[in-house]
Structure 1
Amino acid sequence: MKIIEARSINKYFYAPDRFHALKDISFSVEKGEFVSIMGKSGCGKSTLLYILSTMDTDYEGDLLMEEQLVTGLSHEQLSKIRNEHIGFVFQFHYLLPEFSVLENVMLPALKLGRKTKEEIEHDAMTKLRLLDIDSQATKLASRISGGQKQRVAIARALINNPSIIMGDEPTGNLDSKNASIVFDIFRELSDEEDLSLLIVTHDEDFANKTDRIIEMEDGRIISHKRE
Structure 2
Amino acid sequence: MTPVIEARHIDKFFTSPVEFHVLKDITFQIPPGEFTSIMGKSGCGKSTLLYILSTMDTDYRGELLLKGEVLSGKPQNRLSRIRNENIGFVFQFHYLLGDFSVLENVMLPARKLARKSEEEIRHDAHEKLRMLHIEHLALKKASRISGGEKQRVAIARALINDPAILMGDEPTGNLDSYNSENVFQIFKQLKEEKGLSLLIVTHDEDFASRTDRILEMDDGRIVGGNP
Which range, TM-score by smaller chain?
over 0.9
SS at match of 1:97: coil
SS at match of 1:2: coil
Paired with 1:26 and 1:108, the residues of 2 have a C-alpha distance of 30
Mark the CA change 1:225 to 1:202 in structure 2 (over 3 Å): closer, same or farther. farther
Mark the CA change 1:10 to 1:225 in structure 2 (over 3 Å): closer, same or farther. closer
Equivalent residues in 2 for 1:50-61, closer than 5 Å = 50-61=51-62
TM-score, structure 1 length as denominator? Answer: 0.98
String of CA shifts for 1:105-132, please: whole Å, max 9, x gaps: 0000000001111110000000000000
- The corresponding residue for 1:144 is 145
Moved over 6 A (4+): none
- The corresponding residue for 1:174 is 175
- The corresponding residue for 1:6 is 7
Paired with 1:122 and 1:45, the residues of 2 have a C-alpha distance of 36
- The corresponding residue for 1:108 is 109
Equivalent residues in 2 for 1:10-159, closer than 5 Å = 10-159=11-160
Q: CA RMSD in A?
A: 0.9
String of CA shifts for 1:57-103, please: whole Å, max 9, x gaps: 11000000001111010001100110000000000000000000000
Gaps in structure 2 of 5+ consecutive residues: none
Gaps in structure 1 of 5+ consecutive residues: none
Report the AA paired with residue 4 of structure 1. Answer: I
Report the AA paired with residue 96 of structure 1. Answer: L
Paired with 1:194 and 1:43, the residues of 2 have a C-alpha distance of 30
Paired with 1:57 and 1:141, the residues of 2 have a C-alpha distance of 32
Query: What percent of counterpart residues are identical?
Result: 68
SS at match of 1:139: coil
Paired with 2:169 and 2:52, the residues of 1 have a C-alpha distance of 13
Paired with 1:161 and 1:88, the residues of 2 have a C-alpha distance of 12
- Count the aligned residue pairs: 226
Report the AA paired with residue 98 of structure 1. Answer: D
TM-fit CA distance, 1:225: 6.5
